[in-house]
Structure 1
Amino acid sequence: MSAGTAPPATTRQTPLPGASLVMAMLLLVYIFNFLDRMMLSILAAPIQAELGLSDGEMGLLGGLAFAVLYSTLAVPLSALADRTSRSWVITIALVFWSGFTALCGMAQSFLHLFLARVGVGVGEAGGVAPSYALVADYFPPRRRATALAIYSLGVPIGSAIGVLGGGYIASTVDWRTAFFVMGGLGILIAPLFKLVVKDPPRPVSVTGPVAGAPARQSIWQVARLLARKPTFWFLAFGAASSSMLGYGIGFWKPSYILRTFDIGLWETSLFIGGVLLIGGVSGMLAGGAIADRLGGNRKWYARLPAIAFILGAPIYAAGVLTDNLWLAFALFIVPQGLAYVWFGPVLTAVQNLVEPPARATASALFLLINNLIGLGGGIYALGLISDAYAPVYGDESLRMSILTVLPIYVLAGILMLLAARTIERDWVEEA
């Protein structure tokens, strides 16, 4: 075995030394990733009031302004991380996106805020895919879905902190201060992250063109490999379909609550934060744990998300239709959890569609599809639909917009079921 190559993965049934501390730091950075990304949702109302922005313009700020460069730059940055240092790429990305988050607080117009959001997207492009690869390197295959689910807790926790922290600061001071505070905190933790998180030796595979060697592959080699695997396409477009609703509804839900129920910004923050923490955390952990338990049959890495998506759609609709605040809270918790079940199993499957040295690049290609469609399309689409419905439905336009797009969850479930048919054939076994 060559120098710098890790022991065969199946001989290591436990995580690498220091894995728990590395996971804690990766999770902390991911919390800031989603905190900075989703804080805009709770601040939408005061920003729209001060800058005079429509729902469609706000949808652009929350979606396309962030998603286009975030999705596309993730691919070359992740290839760089595969070839150099994943921890260094994440550290520099954290400083970059946190700085532009702070600059959002200085915006005086739609254009200013648009450019600042583009900067946030550029920075965050270097954060997630290299982190997926680090988690996969530190944890053995049969623990990987749970590990990736724990890392992905950054999504609900970061979103909840962004909503709660942003809402509190905006309601007690102003929305600009919220951006200054959250961006500054991200910059402060960057040196600690680099001090703690190191790149381990890369494991090897027993299948594929580079079996038994930690050879590095180009973006195009990885892309061509994945293009020949139907599982990748079904998983990517299934996740993207669900993300259209996850990002779209998540961004507009605070505005929907404010327009539908007679409560203030801070009370809305508590509502959304509670749904994200209770539903999101439980769904994320359950998805990873169940996938690891059933993972002896690879099909369950796709079947489990399919079941969750299909079950969640009608419960979400019931929550949107009710006019009782507490009933809406209870109903939203369930589909919020079901919507997050996919993270552990699907991200694990993507890691195992390629050889270990190509994991960050494969993750970035997966996220390219997921985020361009989900993040770029969902938020903007719901804003446009709401604007179109406004002359007829008035303050109910966001409610009707959400109901219009909920059937996309069923489409996501169907695509995951199709992935289950090919996943065993496309899986790459480690040594």
Structure 2
Amino acid sequence: MESGGAWYGPASPERLGCAAGGGGAAATPGGGPGALSCFRVGQGPATDSPATAPDPRERLGPHPRASAGSGGAPMTHAARPSRYPLYVLFLLTLLNLLDYVDRYIIASVGSLIRRDFVISDARFGLFGTLFFLVYLITAPVFGYLGDRFPRRAVLALGAIVWSLATAGASLAPTYLFLLLSRGLVGIGEASFGTLSPPFLADYFPVRQRARVMAVFYVTLPAGAALAYLLAGKLGETHGWRFCFMLVGLPGLLLAVPIFFLREPVRGGMEGRETDPAPGLMPGGDEDFSYRKRISHVVASYRELIRSRSYLYTNLGYAALTFAIGGMAFWMPRYLETIKGVSFEESNRLTGSIVALCGFFGTLAGGFAGDLVMRWTRRAYLLLSGLGVLAAIPFALGAIFSPERRVYAPCLGAAIFFLFVNTGLLNAVIVSVSPPRLRSTAVAANIVIIHILGDAPSPYLIGQVSDLSSLQGGILLAVAAMLVSGLLLLWGSRWLPGDLERVAGKSLGSRG
């Protein structure tokens, strides 16, 4: 269903970035850093390079189609495959790395903060819970705006807000001040977390999205690891305040090139151009009242929930986030109190294991998902569910074994299998959602996984720790893994049909 109002006019292939040919040149190692060189960029169904979207108020024509060998003009310079998508992916991935370093820095210096402010485990766990409560409350607002206005400015503003809040936390004189600063960080990161996946989805075709999301979200283990390693190296010598200042400032620099990114055409990689969602567009053909706006938002969420694979992906993702968020927040403390590891060594061990195993698990899942999709359209959720279930015995080994030569490899294997899911699940979220509702879909995903996942898990594990033992609290995360794996396997039944439904709507809306 396309949004109302026939406000289209002619548009040139050059302005929309459509290519005359169907093939894209392979990216060379010089075209992008590291893992980015594996992509053949811009091979969308109807365009070889992503389109740069004009202002949403500008009248646009139907998405043009041209094919080499069918009487079309020769490929011009403007129509050649572009490496610009790799630049966008690199820039957003770098900012996402800072996002996750910022998110996990509070856990990595937890012992130092408790030493300064003399707080219980439950009050310390409130740092993580408040962050995610603010994050999930503001995410739907950014999802609503992201489906209606250019996204690059909001992405840049979010980076500025969370960077200033993190740097300002280094000056916190009291526990309450530091707690409030983490709430502000949640606002800034909500804008970036909501808008960046749909932004990338409009630069890359469906068949590449598991890999793209794997590269983008490989920053989750890398950022968490960097936070732990940073705290281990600099926390004791320079203090936790120095760590907050060091993490906060680089985001201000990256906000500048983010602001000047080209806005891609919504739905361009599905072979069409999609209107921004109605409800708040200035200069539109309809005057949306407040009641109509609310009605449209409710209808949008109903449309998303009708997708069974979207629904089960969100529920399984929430249980997985409960497990990962709780373990990541408490693992340094667990190694110190239960395994008898020093503060510096616990951060070093956690950081190195998460960096190595989480990094390769994320990439392996993304690339394996795109490969297995050639044989079954259930691949993304099948691999996700099996990965979570495979992590359970290794997690139990890491919890109960007293010997480092056993619990360290077990922890690494558990993290590898848990992070196999990252690119796969995010690819499902953006691929089974209509292009005009992708920011809303990601926002709903953020609300669900955090309100049921890592918003309550740090506090609940802390409460169990205060009442019994931290080991008992960590076992809550293992139970969540079992729930997650079963939900994802069950949801895979509907994935092929939901993918076909979105593709059918795209084809039906052309021409």
What TM-score do you get using the length of structure 2 for normalisation?
0.78
Structure 2 unpaired stretches of 5+: 1-8, 19-42, 51-81, 279-296
Q: Give the whole-Å Cα distance in 2 for the aligned partners of 1:189 and 1:405.
A: 35
* TM alignment of 1:305-324, pairs within 5 A: 305-324=384-403
Q: Give the whole-Å Cα distance in 2 for the aligned partners of 1:346 and 1:374.
A: 15
Comparing 185-194 with 115-124, which one deviates more in the overlay? 185-194
- Is 2:206 the partner of 1:146? no
Comparing 236-245 with 68-77, which one deviates more in the overlay? 68-77
Residue among 217, 236, 244 paired with 2:322: 244
Report deviation, 1:185: 2.1
Match of 2:114 in 1: 48
Comparing 289-298 with 153-162, which one deviates more in the overlay? 289-298
Q: Give the whole-Å Cα distance in 2 for the aligned partners of 1:264 and 1:205.
A: 50
Give the match's secondary structure for 1:406. Answer: helix
1:360-412: CA deviations, max 9, x gaps? 221111111011221211111111111111xxxxxxx2122112441211110
- Is 2:365 the partner of 1:284? no
Report deviation, 1:301: 1.4
User: RMSD in angstroms over aligned alpha carbons?
Assistant: 2.0
1:204–1:357 contact (8 Å) kept in structure 2: no
Q: Give the whole-Å Cα distance in 2 for the aligned partners of 1:31 and 1:212.
A: 32
1:309–1:338 contact (8 Å) kept in structure 2: yes
1:104-153: CA deviations, max 9, x gaps? 22223332121111101011110012110122111111111001100001
Q: Give the whole-Å Cα distance in 2 for the aligned partners of 1:94 and 1:191.
A: 10
Report deviation, 1:39: 0.7
Report deviation, 1:68: 1.2
Report deviation, 1:204: 4.8
Q: Give the whole-Å Cα distance in 2 for the aligned partners of 1:175 and 1:212.
A: 50
Q: Give the aligned residue type for 2:267.
A: P
Q: Give the whole-Å Cα distance in 1 for the aligned partners of 2:255 and 2:444.
A: 26
* TM alignment of 1:262-301, pairs within 5 A: 262-296=340-374, 297-301=376-380
Q: Give the whole-Å Cα distance in 1 for the aligned partners of 2:397 and 2:10.
A: 58
Match of 1:410 in 2: 482
- Is 2:248 the partner of 1:183? yes
Report deviation, 1:94: 0.5
2:430–2:438 contact (8 Å) kept in structure 1: yes
Q: Give the aligned residue type for 2:109.
A: L
Match of 1:327 in 2: 406
Report deviation, 1:414: 0.9
Structure 1 unpaired stretches of 5+: 390-396
* TM alignment of 1:58-69, pairs within 5 A: 58-63=124-129, 65-69=130-134
Q: Give the aligned residue type for 1:202.
A: R
Q: Give the aligned residue type for 2:441.
A: A
Q: Give the whole-Å Cα distance in 2 for the aligned partners of 1:13 and 1:188.
A: 31
Match of 1:392 in 2: none
1:306-341: CA deviations, max 9, x gaps? 001111011111011112224322111111011111
1:5–1:203 contact (8 Å) kept in structure 2: no
Q: Give the whole-Å Cα distance in 1 for the aligned partners of 2:233 and 2:241.
A: 12
Match of 2:4 in 1: none
List, as ranges, runs of 4+ consecutive aligned residues in structure 1 with deviation greater than 6 Å.
none
Bigger-Rg structure (1/2): 2
Give the match's secondary structure for 1:10. Answer: coil
Give the match's secondary structure for 2:83. Answer: coil
Match of 2:60 in 1: none
Give the match's secondary structure for 2:433. Answer: coil
Report deviation, 1:188: 2.5
Give the match's secondary structure for 2:153. Answer: helix
Report deviation, 1:202: 2.2
When residues 205 and 261 of structure 1 are mapped into structure 2, their CA distance, relative to the original with a 3 A threshold, is closer
| Number of matched pairs | 418
Match of 1:10 in 2: 45
